[in-house]
Amino acid sequence: MLTTLFRIIKNGFLSFWRNGWLSMATLSIIILALLVFEGIIIFNILTKTALTALQDKIDISIYFKTNTPEDEILKTKKSLETLAEVKNIEYIPRDKALEIFKERHKNDSAISQSLEELQDNPLLASLNIKAHNPKEYVIISGHLDEASFKGWFEKVTYAQNAVVIERLGRIIDTAQKGGLILIIFIALIAVLVTFNTIRLAIYSNREEIGIMRLVGASNSFIRGPYVVEGIIYGTIAGIISIAIAGPVIYFASPYIKIFIPEINLWSYFASHLFTFLGYQLLFGIGLGIISSSIAISKYLRI
């Protein structure tokens, strides 16, 4: 059993090595397919980060009248927290609002001066509400409209930004759906190209397969080395595609940061190197094994 396994592995390596050009051609196609696969993963990460960043910028703020007791504000907060759509609510009291305002405008002497001249704090206390999904702001807004404590509200920002929020929500939604379709489509192409390349490589070996059968080799003894070759293709292609992608990401990273400041692609790639390699190996080896097994079964029927 162990001897047979050893022979299968040895024959796989020998065949890979001695088929030189054919192996190189197959390998280069799989490397390309894996690069596409890697591109898909990165594209996915980028769109996710960009969309999350965008989503984080959307919120509803309720500004309370200056004479609202803190109790009422906290009651409102509690009531809103019971809604399933609400992700989190931040309470900003008037003092804190002033602090933030001062901090933001500390370099603007005109504003600082005018604030000092005003004896009173002109800013309002507010509740900053974030939803799980941009589409849910309508529901939250509806809830606010019907609330009993509505009388304390000075203004609600949703009313002002409703159109923008809705449009952003639609953009995010479409981008997610479109991205998924694109990913599936490109991944399918990569899979088909790899599968057909391996199939062609085995097709060119069909006579040898016939000879092996006539000499009395069992199906598993014939199939084994081709599966081993598939594993070799997957492993080498996985490593090479990472080695190619690394420098490309390194140089592209600063440019991507201009569009999506929230992500440093290079440091993300570097810290997830082994995850990337794992995915690539899994995809490459899996595809290699499956393609070889399917392609060879056609020639094992005689």
Tokens representing 99 are 């602090």
What number of CA atoms fall less than 13 Å from residue 119's CA on the CB side? 0
Dihedral angle sign, alpha carbons of residues 123, 127, 131, 137:
negative
110 binds another protein (CB under 8 A): no
Is 40 a binding residue for another protein by CB under 8 A? The answer is no
CB of 280 to another protein, least distance (A): 29
Beta carbon of residue 172, minimum distance to another protein (angstroms, whole number):
55
In angstroms, give the least distance from the CB of 9 to another protein. Answer: 12
Q: Is 206 in the site for another protein (CB under 8 A)?
A: no
How many residues touch another protein under the rule CB under 8 A: the total is 21
> With CB under 8 A as the contact rule, which of the stretches 58-66, 112-120, 160-168, 215-223 interacts with another protein?
215-223
Segment interacting with another protein (CB under 8 A) among 7-15, 120-128, 178-186, 234-242? 7-15
| Cβ neighbours of 89 (radius 10 Å) | 18
- The CB-of-222 to another protein minimum distance in angstroms stands at 8
Q: What is the CA radius of gyration of the chain?
A: 31
Q: Is 145 one of the binding residues for another protein (CB under 8 A)?
A: no
Quick one: 218 or 275, whose CB is closer to another protein? 218
Give yes or no for residue 14 binding another protein (CB under 8 A).
Answer: yes
Binding residue for another protein, selected from 2, 84, 181, 302, defined by CB under 8 A: 302
Give whichever of 86 and 212 is closer to another protein, judged by the CB atom.
Answer: 212
Q: Which of 7, 78, 170, 298: binder of another protein (CB under 8 A)?
A: 7
Binding of another protein by 199 (CB under 8 A): no
Q: Does 232 bind another protein (CB under 8 A)?
A: no
Distances (CA, A) of 141 to 82, 114, 128, 156, 158: 14, 34, 13, 9, 7
Encoded amino acid at 222, one letter: I
Half-sphere exposure for 25 (CA within 13 Å, toward CB): 12
Closer of 19 and 61 to another protein (Cβ): 19
Residue 211 touching another protein (CB under 8 A) = yes
Are 39 and 241 a contacting pair, CB within 8 Å?
Answer: no
Q: Is 2 one of the binding residues for another protein (CB under 8 A)?
A: no
- Residue in 96, 155, 213, 272 binding another protein, rule: CB under 8 A: 213
| Binding status of residue 4 toward another protein by CB under 8 A | yes
Q: Does 19 bind another protein (CB under 8 A)?
A: yes
CA 144 to chain centre: 34
Strand order through the sheet with 126-131 = 86-92, 126-131, 60-64, 153-156
- Give me the residues that bind another protein (CB under 8 A), please: 3-4, 7, 14-15, 18-19, 207-208, 210-219, 221, 302
